[in-house]
Structure 1
């Protein structure tokens, strides 16, 4: 993948929670439903086959009565280290690959999120659309969830 840096949005966080807890929050459907959506939004888990090659599909009911669908396929899972998956967040974002990296330091978890776009232009378009705020809001909810 050429010019990966120019096509990647990266968010780093430190969670004051043990790695095993943060991992569960990312991998168990009942936990994902508690934080994946932006503040004030509900999330329904339609499908969650957490294995390499497994599909995932989530739905957020919107105030206008429509559903915002997120879906993709897991391509790599290394327990307590890494999750790689494709993602479509229709109609806003399509054809991205997400790499989520976890690293433990005692009861603290270092977390790195990379969202890789097909082109640099598409990445810049997503930045302008507010992708940092959207994921940032979800990760704030994740932080609150693992510390509750």
Structure 2
């Protein structure tokens, strides 16, 4: 394996601590009615088209931009460890395709430690996605999630 094949060179990571219990954060990620409330960057509305939350199950969400244009995010769940981890393929057409999301949850008292890894096929593609605004885009999504779970925790 050469250095460019190293997983760490193909992965972008975000970490957060949500001020909400693990069960609530897990439910926000795994229940369609909750996903529609927070998924997507600020200013976008999300419609859940398909959500089969099981290993091998498909998910598909339509996000509507403020100008009315819609784009699709979709994937297949590869691994689910209850209250700990979700691994899924993901395509965010037309911007990002062929990535894997590794989402980890850990209880920390009344808070939840959250790690989000986005694994790309190549190091070059990973760098391109970072330059396209990966961190700002996903930070906005996780701001929505934070607001969603923290409002329900209080």
Q: Which of 65, 68, 75 pairs up with 1:72? A: 75
1:66 Cα shift?
Answer: 3.1
Partner of 1:138, secondary structure, is helix
1:113 Cα shift?
Answer: 0.2
Task: Could you tell me which runs of 5 or more consecutive residues in structure 1 were left unpaired when the two chains were aligned.
Answer: none
Q: Which of 95, 113, 118 pairs up with 1:115? A: 118
State how 1:14-53 maps to structure 2 within 5 Å: 14-53=17-56
Contact 2:13-2:117 within 8 A present in 1 as well? yes
Give the Cα separation in 2 of the matches to 1:123 and 1:29: 29
| Partner of residue 96, structure 2 | 93
| Partner of residue 61, structure 2 | 58
Give the Cα separation in 1 of the matches to 2:48 and 2:14: 24
Contact 2:43-2:66 within 8 A present in 1 as well? no
Number of aligned residue pairs: 148
Partner of 1:147, secondary structure, is helix
Give the Cα separation in 2 of the matches to 1:14 and 1:66: 32
Q: TM-score, normalised by structure 1?
A: 0.97
State how 1:129-148 maps to structure 2 within 5 Å: 129-148=132-151
- C-alpha RMSD of the superposition: 1.1
Give the Cα separation in 1 of the matches to 2:102 and 2:41: 20
Task: Could you tell me which runs of 5 or more consecutive residues in structure 2 were left unpaired when the two chains were aligned.
Answer: none
Deviations 1:89-126 (A, max 9, x none): 00000000000000001111100000000000000000
Q: TM-score, normalised by structure 2?
A: 0.93
Give the Cα separation in 2 of the matches to 1:144 and 1:63: 20
